[in-house]
Amino acid sequence: MNVTELARQLRINTAELLELLPQYGFDIGKKAIKIDDKTAQQVMHKWRFIKRDLEEKKKREIEEKKLKERELRKQMGQSVVLPSRLTVREFAERLSMPTSQIIMELMKNGILANQNQDIDFDTAAILAEELGFSVQKEEEGVEEVHKETSRVESLETALSQSKKLESRAPVIVVMGHVDHGKTKLLDTIRKANIIDTEAGGITQHIGAYQTIWKDPKTKEERAITFIDTPGHEAFSMMRSRGARIADIAILVVAADDSVKPQTVEAIKIIKAAKLPMVVAINKIDKPAADVQKTKSDLSTHDVIPEEWGGTIPMVEISAKERLNIDKLLDVLLLVADVQGETIKADPTLPAIGTVIESNVDKSAGPVASVLIQAGTLNRGDKIVVNNEIYGKVRAMKNYLGEMIERAGPSVPVQIVGFKVAPEVGDVLDLSKESTALEIDVKKKRVEQTGADKASIADSQGSSDEEGKKTLNVLIKADVLGSLEAIIASLSKIKHPEVGVKIIGKGLGNVNEDDVKKAKAADAHIIGFNVQPNLVGKELIREENVPFTEYSIIYNVINWVKEELGKLLSDEKIVTELGTFKVLAIFRKEKDSMIVGGRVEAGKAVKTSRARVKRDGVVMAVGKITDCKVGAASVKEVVQGTECGLKFEGNMRIEAGDVLELYTEETKAREIIFEKN
For residue 206, the model assigns a pLDDT of 46
Indicate the SS3 state at residue 110. Answer: coil
| pLDDT in the model for residue 467 | 55
Secondary structure (DSSP) of 179-205:
TSSHHHHHHHHHTS-GGGGSGGGS--S
CA 614 distance to own-chain centroid: 52
Contact 132, 71 (CB under 8 A): yes
The answer to whether residues 390 and 360 belong to one domain is yes
Specify if 228 maps to a domain: yes
pLDDT for residue 638: 92
Asked whether the beta carbons of 395 and 416 are under 8 A apart, the reply is yes
Tell me if 155 is assigned to some domain.
Answer: no
Answer yes or no: is 490 within a domain.
yes
What pairs with residue 376 in β-bridges?
350
CA 158 from centroid of its chain's CA atoms: 34
Crossing angle between the packed helical segments 88-95 and 121-130, to the nearest 10 degrees: 40
Task: Tell me, yes or no, whether 176 and 311 share the same domain.
Answer: yes
Does 104 share its domain with 216? no
Beta strands in 12-170 (DSSP E): 79-82, 85-87, 118-120, 134-137, 166-167
Q: Which helix (H) or strand (E) holds 392?
A: strand 388-397
Residue 673 inside a domain? The answer is no
CATH number assigned to the domain comprising residue 230:
3.40.50.300
Contact 421, 358 (CB under 8 A): yes
**Residue 120: helix, strand or coil by DSSP?**
strand
Q: Is residue 512 domain-shared with residue 395, that is, in the same domain?
A: no
Long-range contact set of residues 396-400: C-beta below 8 Å, sequence gap at least 24: 398/210, 399/207, 399/208, 399/209, 399/210
In degrees rounded to 5, what are phi and psi of residue 412? -85, 135
Say if residue 493 is in the same domain as residue 618. Answer: no
Q: Note whether 157 and 149 are within 8 A (CB).
A: yes
What is the CATH classification number for the domain harbouring 587? 2.40.30.10
Q: Give the helix/strand (H/E) hosting 468.
A: none
508 found inside a domain: yes
Helix ranges restricted to H, 300-435? 325-338
- Rounded CA separation 405/393 (Å): 10
Write the CA distances from 355 to 92, 422, 480, 484, 505, integer angstroms: 28, 8, 11, 15, 21
| Biggest distance spanned by C-alpha atoms of the chain | 105
Residue 675 lies in a domain: no
Q: Spell out the residues 6+ positions from residue 272 whose beta carbon is closer than 8 angstroms to its own.
A: 240, 243
Say whether both 187 and 308 belong to one domain.
yes
- Cα within 13 Å of Cα(292), Cβ side: 0
Residues 365 and 463 placed together within one structural domain of the fold: no
Using CA of residue 72, residue 75, residue 76, residue 81, what is the dihedral sign? positive
Cα–Cα distances (Å) from 82 to 88, 140, 148, 475, 580, in that order, read 12, 10, 13, 34, 71
Report if residue 636 sits inside a domain: yes
Q: Do 212 and 326 belong together in one domain?
A: yes
Distance, CA of 381 to CA of 256 (rounded, Å): 49
**342, 374, 396: which is the final residue of a domain?**
342
Q: Output the CA angle 238-421-110, nearest 5 degrees.
A: 30
Residue 512 CB coordination number (10 Å)? 15
**520 and 545 Cβ atoms separated by less than 8 Å:** no
State the pTM of this model: 0.54
What are the mean pLDDT values of the chain's consecutive 10-residue runs (676 residues total)? Answer: 87 86 85 87 87 82 79 78 84 84 76 72 83 78 41 57 82 82 80 49 58 73 78 46 74 92 83 88 93 94 92 93 89 91 88 82 82 92 88 89 91 90 81 82 60 42 55 86 78 79 85 89 92 90 92 85 81 88 91 93 93 89 92 91 92 91 80 50
Query: Nearest 5°: phi and psi at 645?
Result: -125, 140
Give yes or no: residues 199 and 332 share one domain.
yes
Give the pLDDT score at 643. 94
Which residues, at least 6 apart from 246, have a Cβ–Cβ distance to it below 8 Å?
171, 172, 173, 227, 273, 275
Looking at 437, 455, 470, the residue that finishes a domain is 437
How high is the pLDDT of residue 515? Answer: 92
Contact 44, 9 (CB under 8 A): yes
Query: Helix 553-567 crosses helix 480-490 at what angle (to 10 degrees)?
Result: 30
HSE (CB half, 13 Å, CA atoms) of 248?
30
- Rounded to an integer, what distance in angstroms lies between the CA atom of residue 397 and that of residue 401? 5
Backbone angles phi, psi at 401, to 5 degrees: 85, 10
Which class for 339: exposed (0-12), middle (13-18), buried (19 or more C-beta within 10 A)? middle
User: Number of folded domains in the chain?
Assistant: 6
Instruction: Give the pLDDT confidence score for residue 95 in this predicted structure.
Output: 86
> Measured between alpha carbons, how far is 663 from 661 in angstroms, rounded to an integer?
7
CB-based contact 552:202 (threshold 8 Å):
yes
Same-domain status, 396 and 481: no
Q: For residue 286, give the nearest of 173, 179, 197 by alpha carbon.
A: 179
What is the pLDDT, as a whole number, of residue 672?
59
Question: CA 243 to CA 425: how far, in whole Å?
Answer: 11
- Write the CB contacts of 439 (distance below 8 Å, at least 6 apart in sequence): 388, 389, 390, 391, 419, 420
Q: Are residues 217 and 316 in the same domain?
A: yes
Return the DSSP state at 351: P
Supply the pLDDT for residue 293: 93
Q: Which amino acid is at 572?
A: K
- For residues 354 and 425, the answer to whether their CB atoms sit within 8 Å is yes
Give the whole-angstrom CA distance, residue 627 versus residue 304: 65
Instruction: Kindly tell me the number of DSSP H helices and DSSP E strands found in the chain.
Output: 18, 35
Domain check: are 298 and 180 in the same one? yes
Listed residue (341, 338, 318, 337) closest to 328, CA to CA = 318
We report the CATH number of the domain holding residue 508 as 3.40.50.10050
Neighbour tally for 674: CB within 10 Å: 11
In a domain, 41, yes or no: yes
Give dist(CA 272, CA 110) in Å, integer: 15
Q: Which domain, by its residues, includes 336?
A: 169-342
